[in-house]
Amino acid sequence: MTPPREPWWLQPIRGIRTLKERADEIPFDSSRKYMAVLTEDGTIYTKGAPERITEMCSHEAGDEKNVEIDRERLMAIEIEKYLMRRWKHE
């Protein structure tokens, strides 16, 4: 039995701190609610509050490739954000 493959989008993250040099970064700030790192090859990595990250995205990681976030998916994301806020305050 072969072990399950990790998602394609997780593979580049392994060892990123040793493999890629940082060219610039935006440190985390609670008012901004995210941080970002620019590597020398032009790749930008971000992490932070989902509502801030989705505002900046035009694509999301799919099973095999990046998928454009269309109007229908954007509506689903907004509904998920609403439900999470509501659940958080109950």
Distance CA 43, CA 77 (A): 24
Tell me the pLDDT band of 35, cut-offs 50, 70 and 90.
Answer: very high
- Predicted confidence at residue 17, as pLDDT, reads 59
State the total domains in the chain.
Answer: 1
Answer whether residue 76 is part of any domain.
yes
Answer whether residue 2 is part of any domain.
no
Candidate from 2-6, 49-53, 77-81 with smallest mean pLDDT: 2-6
Answer whether residue 23 is part of any domain.
yes
Long-range contacts of 8-16 (CB under 8 A, 24+ apart): 8/61, 8/64, 8/65, 9/61, 16/45
Q: What is the span of the domain harbouring residue 76?
A: 11-88
Q: Is the pTM of this model over 0.85?
A: no
Please say if the pLDDT value at position 44 is more than 90.
no
Please say if the pLDDT value at position 60 is more than 80.
yes
Answer whether residue 73 is part of any domain.
yes
Answer whether residue 1 is part of any domain.
no
* In the chain, alpha helices (H): 16-19, 50-56, 71-88
